[in-house]
Structure 1
């Protein structure tokens, strides 16, 4: 039979005088409200006519204990007998009228797992009051409860509560208190499980005939002490398994984490066995760059040099490492591993484990905030958040965008501050420390997180203005404390980044970096089933920047989920607006309408050029959609798997989710063998040509199109410096606009032209003189040409520049520049 929408549980002990009036009021309200329901009276060994009174009403079910044991035992029996999707607990005196159920239902619709009717929060309406002594004892008890067991709830003992059915059955099944402290124990279970509880004001009026005796206060205090001291449930009490567990397997965090790690290893399977000898094909030159970042940081730390700067690349000007994505939050602590096993293995481990750690972090956030008790739904959401097509694209070469394991905990702390956590100071301090650490992992990812949170906050404010007003009570203060903790930790590195040597003001990007509307609905190149390399490359800058490509089936499913849950879950409306806003911003300042010549202004045009935002590759804003769409799917899966769903609807919905995700399953990242480092560098032969403080000029100089020389330098233990390079720096000559690589001098331009255009230039005396000045500027000891397809042409170009042939040493061509006669 289909479980009812609502189960009403009423504990009763010798309630013959009051229960009949209460049952009549409850049944009258439920009949008028419509929907499916059940009413359960849990009799606690009554000695009067209570059982007969219930039996006279066929719509009410009676469950009875063997003897009088207390309210907790009665509630445990009553809740275990229910099957409803929601459970309303109300006392036999009905001190809070049934009409107050509407305010509790609103709290559950907003995403809370329980709603406590409260007499102690602003807005509560009190009619007839209790005796003054009972009010004082109750107030003292509530203070004790908040201090020791259930922080944040002012009135745990009000008997009018609405709870999620499955979670309530789980909490009562785990309870052991038989007395009045059962409310405290169950709410503490919700609190420790991360299931959000709302305390809402209700109308309440004391009813005569209370069963609480003075001795009950002593038993209540005893039970509170036991809750604080005892850690294991009674062995002799039978366990009641929640209904949602009876027919559905559960996925616990350990299996989910193992799944994420296996998927990450499968994605990087091409480099598992030989990370130093394999190269990610689609990383372009970025793998060389990242290995160099990890290696140079380790070298700086090992030699007690400034980890924020080096002149080993870009000589003689050097590199502002803080203004580049060196990830000091990992590259510094992983220094011993890098020195011991090499940067190639360090980078491989960081990328393998980073995706899995990111998925695990999203899993925990979704499970705690959106789908409590639904680990399968949280797993689906985390998989999309961490392994969405744009994340897979960045997995080729950009660990700063795949290692996002700090982002979900940061979001969790912001939400706690917005809700009014019971420990705001500790939460704010933790948020500040986490934010500082994320800044050292990836500043652009932190900026995208902030933009995503702003979009969500704006959307949720429109959906729930009352919640936004409530958040403003503590959120600004908490954020100020977090900033006060974070800024001292990052102030010096940020000052170095923005005003230190080789700092720059912004990093302009090609307008082609914005997403096309078609890119949002197409499939990525690495899609195992639907991948189309030609189409994906036509809609993106390169394979690492395929920042959208969610596919039209997922877009349609997201719209369907939003429509289906629109009324029931305000969070769904805010999430849908966040995804739509991020996707729209990612289209850039000018949005071309597909299949037409029309170009419309985009909302990013209002933000383009602002400080910090002027360095963002606008297409990356679509990365915000990955976790947001994952959350929408998690909510959909949780709703479909909830008790009460018809089997046909459930299976059809889950099939739609599977069909939308199937085209997004990625193929393993492509890798290929990479050339061995010439023996000239590994054997130490270079030391005969490069003296201390001198640079070595590789041919061609390292740049964003060919960065192999960075690996040569690592193999030589950073024994020489390199002119040129692959990093970000100011253009120069008073222009602090950021550029990739180093502006070319005459000699570098000649060599690049020879490589790219295939022409061996004719060099006259003036050209050789300019080359001499360039070599002097670089303080070069030698020019070295490594093996490659352009070796013959580049060798001729160097001979023209230097004026003599080179020598073959250790698998490379070498021109020694120390003899003045070497360049006539």
Structure 2
């Protein structure tokens, strides 16, 4: 996409209104596009609209609840004017380094008014619809302004950028990988770098966008940076004369970008890697590679897909899953446009490099892990920059390249057969409403505010089970609902293990968590020894616990039995059992 501005003026004449035309005549196609994108976003989240407070994804329910918790974090930060980079609400008394986690502050803070007015569950659905539609709209704007003359071409490319199978798949509980609305703006800013001599302004704009994206999704920003570097080198190879003319102004603007983003991001990045709760890396998360067979497979959440594909290819992240018709059509039109435009050649290079890097340390093929080494094994698992991202997510660069080629093909190859082939390849990828399941409301003890009488300021509420990556999702949702107005021990987050590497949850496994785990495995509370009781009471004292809380349901009876062994007889309050602590 970097070459787009070289091949077209800063504003394509056919994309601008004719002299004297009413402004609304120029705006209405964009408004129609925005309306269609919004409607598609509502389709994707259709099963959540009737009852957003009582609906949950069955795909990754813990992640879904985590992002609701993050929305409450953003609202809590705004309401209390606290440091957004750290939260004392989970993992009390140690807290959580939010920069070392997927904090999405670039979205949760702007959405704070929605969260405060309607709650995190409603705000989550608003976020997801807006993320899909917003990404499609910014891609539509970028394509229309810098790349294509046809409004239909820009609409098509925008729709693919916002609703590609790999994007929609992450709408199952991972909105940080759906919130890509800044990426087209970043690409547009790169296109403009130093083009008209205003390199200072261009660098400042790009630096600001990069900083905002850092607070939305660092991994997507990293993928964009790698793809941008590949684009720049490919462009220089395909258009050496233009590269020689632009390198000084482009380099100067890029320098301003680096200084701007460096100044704005220096402290947050330092805090991420050196602040309290930081860790050195996540070795278990950077080995997940993309299976090449999935490129020609239809994703589950498309009209042509079904859950059966997951049984064949494995239930991995569906970052590609483009379907064989689209891969075939894009191969043909790339061949047709190869000599006509350096943009397509650049997009093809980006696709090739990203596809190879997405394989990861070992090739997966047809759902099976092979002994064939991938690029990460050849480069080394600790290869700088690449070791910070999950390999399969490099496919996001392919989604952007595909959106560009689709828009260019519609714009430059107006033959009916070509356009019909594009439509037929895209129809199977139309998204279906995402699967959903009921999610019960928190107990009245939480929603009515009764808990406030039992948890003084500076104390914590100890729920059984405690929130973690394998249990306590429901209890984490209580915390989100209560807007972080009380603190909980342990939790669902990334933190350092005893060796300083990243892992899920607190540094040390508590005896309380061990006993809860045994309860879950057996379906009944284990016999508690005097040693267990002493260890748990010491943990409760360290956590500064005020009260232990268990739901009053048949499914939670085993936790109640465990709590009675640990703390004695409980008290029924509203729809929970409580044990007031005075240790």
Q: Check whether TM > 0.5.
A: yes
Question: Over residues 401-420 of structure 1, what are the superposed CA-to-partner deviations in whole Å (9 max), with x where a residue is unaligned?
Answer: 212221112111212227x3
Cα 1:744–1:517 change in 2 (3 A) is same
In structure 2, distance between residues paired with 1:692 and 1:557: 62
Which of 233, 242, 247 is residue 472 of structure 1 equivalent to? 247
Q: Does 1:551 align with 2:315?
A: no
Secondary structure class of the residue paired with 1:323: coil
Which is richer in helix? 2
How far the C-alpha of 1:554 sits from its partner, in A, is: 1.4
Partner of 2:532: 767
Tell me the CA shift for residue 191 of structure 1: 4.9
Cα gap change, 1:195 to 1:338, in 2 (>3 Å)? same
- Shift in alpha-carbon separation, 1:470–1:572, aligned structure 2, 3 A: same
Q: Which residue matches 1:346?
A: 123
Is 1:408 the counterpart of 2:184? The answer is yes
Compute the displacement of 1:689 (Å).
Answer: 3.2
Equivalent positions of 1:702-781 (< 5 A) are 702-706=467-471, 707-732=473-498, 735-742=499-506, 743-781=508-546
Aligned mates of 1:521, 1:727 — CA distance in 2: 35
C-alpha distance in structure 1 between counterparts of 2:333 and 2:521, whole Å: 51
Work out whether residues 164 and 429 of structure 2, in 8 Å CA contact, stay in contact via their aligned partners in 1: yes
Deviations, residues 644-693 of structure 1 (Å, cap 9, x unaligned): xxxxxx23222221221122111111223211211111233323433332
The Cα shift of 1:541 comes to: 5.1
Check whether the contact 1:513–1:540 (CA below 8 A) recurs between aligned residues. Answer: no
Counterpart of 1:653?
A: 418
Q: Where do residues 144-543 of structure 1 align in structure 2 (5 Å cutoff)? A: 191-193=10-12, 252-371=29-148, 373-417=149-193, 420-510=195-285, 513-529=288-304, 531-536=305-310, 539=313
What's the CA shift for 1:759? 4.9
Residues of 2 paired with 1:444 and 1:653: CA distance?
A: 35
In 2, the alpha carbon distance for the partners of 1:268 and 1:775 equals 41
C-alpha deviation, 1:515, in angstroms: 1.3
Say if 2:69 and 2:476, in contact at 8 Å, map to a contact too.
Answer: yes
CA offsets 1:389-411 (integer angstroms, 9 cap, x no match): 11001112222221222111211
**One of 638, 642, 645 as aligned partner of 2:411:** 638
Distance 1:571 1:697, change over 3 A: same
TM-score norm. by structure 2 comes to: 0.91
Contact 2:46 2:433 in 1 (8 A): yes
Change (3 A) 1:570 1:274: same
Answer yes or no: is 1:626 the counterpart of 2:410: no
Aligned residue for 1:322, secondary structure, equals: coil
Q: What is the CA distance between 1:801 and its match in structure 2?
A: 3.3
- Does the 8 Å CA contact 1:363/1:382 hold for their aligned counterparts? yes
SS in 2 for 1:729: strand
DSSP-derived class of the 2:283 partner: coil
8 Å Cα contact 1:513-1:619 kept in structure 2: yes
Distance in structure 1 (CA, Å) of the matches to 2:572 and 2:311: 41
Distance, in Å, in 2 between the alignment partners of 1:702 and 1:234 is 59
CA distance in 1 between partners of 2:63 and 2:132 (Å): 18
Aligned equivalents of 2:160, 2:19: Cα separation in 1:
38
Structure 1 residue 786 and structure 2 residue 551: aligned?
Answer: yes
Deviations 1:291-350 (A, max 9, x none): 111212221322222222121101111011222222222322333332222222222222
Equivalent-residue separation in structure 2 for 1:266 and 1:384 (angstroms):
15
Count of residues in Structure 1 that have an aligned counterpart in Structure 2: 572
Distance across 1 between alignment mates of 2:495 and 2:423: 45
Equivalent residue number for residue 599 of structure 1: 371
Alignment pair present for 1:617 and 2:390: yes
Q: Does residue 814 of structure 1 match 2:573?
A: no
- Native 8 Å contact 1:703 1:724 kept in 2: yes
The residue that corresponds to 2:337 in the other structure is 565
CA RMSD of aligned residues (A): 2.7
More relative contact order in 1 or in 2 (CA 8 Å, sep 6+)? 2
State the 1:510 CA deviation. Answer: 4.5
- The answer to whether the Cα contact below 8 Å between 2:319 and 2:392 also exists between their aligned partners in 1 is yes
- Change in CA separation of 1:379 and 1:788 when aligned onto 2, cut-off 3 Å: farther
The answer (yes or no) to whether the contact 1:593–1:600 under 8 Å persists in 2 is no
DSSP-derived class of the 1:281 partner: coil
Cα shift at 1:450: 0.5
* Structure 2 stretches lacking a partner, 5+ long: none
Pick closer, same or farther for the CA change 1:719–1:417 going to 2, 3 Å: closer
What CA distance in whole angstroms lies between the structure 2 residues aligned with 1:538 and 1:774?
45
3-state DSSP of counterpart to 2:159: helix
